[in-house]
Chain A
Amino acid sequence: SAVISQKPSRDICQRGTSLTIQCQVDSQVTMMFWYRQQPGQSLTLIATANQGSEATYESGFVIDKFPISRPNLTFSTLTVSNMSPEDSSIYLCSVVGVSYNEQFFGPGTRLTVL
């Protein structure tokens, strides 16, 4: 399995501001995803981060609100733009590796928007 780190681990932000979350994996992976987990809820897929091209967004999520970058096989960022209290959630990076088919998750970034 891969070792996945996320920065920051948590943050408290003011509404109207933006936060960029980083995801770093210790080995090359084939696929990287970003999920959102609202308080007490399940995981919802935001988008698939594609290396060197635009991310693929799920219904209800748009690039202007959640811009994503993936410059190489081991790193991705998710930005939460123009935040509102409804964006308060845990944001999770997830990967599928080159040598395995399972999907693994990072520790998450806990975001509170005031």
Chain B
Amino acid sequence: GENVEQHPSTLSVQEGDSAVIKCTYSDSASNYFPWYKQELGKGPQLIIDIRSNVGEKKDQRIAVTLNKTAKHFSLHITETQPEDSAVYFCAAPYSGNTPLVFGKGTRLSVIA
């Protein structure tokens, strides 16, 4: 089955700097890679995803890149703001598109 590794486990950045979180996956057949943001006391919120037919996707300050050959994908947050502080999870499907198996999470702290 799919195995997802996520790094780093914690990340502190100054407000306005960029943050990068990286994930690797094991199943070369996986073709869907979402990222979730979880704020304290809330359920995970889907913030961006990428499918295997593209290498990069952007949505305002957030971008995700995918390298299928190396089996890794990354989340990039530019111009970080204090409200970006949360736990971020990457995920990949057990098979097909769902259900998802999750990385261990990255606790991002943006320091004002």
Q: Which residue of A lies closest to B43 (CB)?
A: A105
Question: Which residue of A31, A42, A102, A107 has the most chain B CB atoms within 10 A of its CB atom?
Answer: A42
Q: Which residues of A contact B97 (CB under 8 A)?
A: 96, 101, 103
* CB <8 Å contact, B32 and A92: no
Q: Is there a chain A Cβ closer than 8 Å to B42's Cβ?
A: yes
Stretch from B13-21, B54-62, B99-107 contacting the other chain: B99-107
Interface residues of B in 38-84 (CB under 8 A from A): 42-46, 49
* CB <8 Å contact, B99 and A33: yes
Q: Which residues of A contact B104 (CB under 8 A)?
A: 41-42
* CB <8 Å contact, A43 and B44: yes
* CB <8 Å contact, B99 and A94: yes
Known contacts A42-B105, A43-B89; is-contact A105 B98 (Cβ 8 Å): no
Interface size class of A (residues with CB under 8 A): 20 to 34
Q: Which residues of A contact B102 (CB under 8 A)?
A: 42-44
Min distance, Cβ A25 to any Cβ of chain B, angstroms: 13
Q: Which residues of B contact A105 (CB under 8 A)?
A: 36, 43-45
Interface mask (A14-45 → B, CB under 8 Å = 1, otherwise 0)? 00000000000000000101000000011111
New A-B contacts (19) at CB < 8 Å, excluding given A96-B97, A96-B98, A104-B46: A4-B43, A33-B99, A41-B104, A41-B105, A42-B102, A42-B104, A43-B44, A43-B102, A45-B99, A45-B100, A45-B101, A92-B43, A92-B44, A101-B98, A102-B46, A103-B46, A103-B98, A105-B43, A107-B42
User: 20 A-B contacts, Cβ less than 8 Å apart?
Assistant: A31-B99, A41-B104, A42-B89, A42-B103, A42-B104, A43-B44, A44-B102, A45-B100, A45-B101, A94-B99, A101-B32, A102-B34, A102-B46, A103-B99, A103-B100, A106-B43, A107-B42, A107-B43, A108-B42, A108-B43
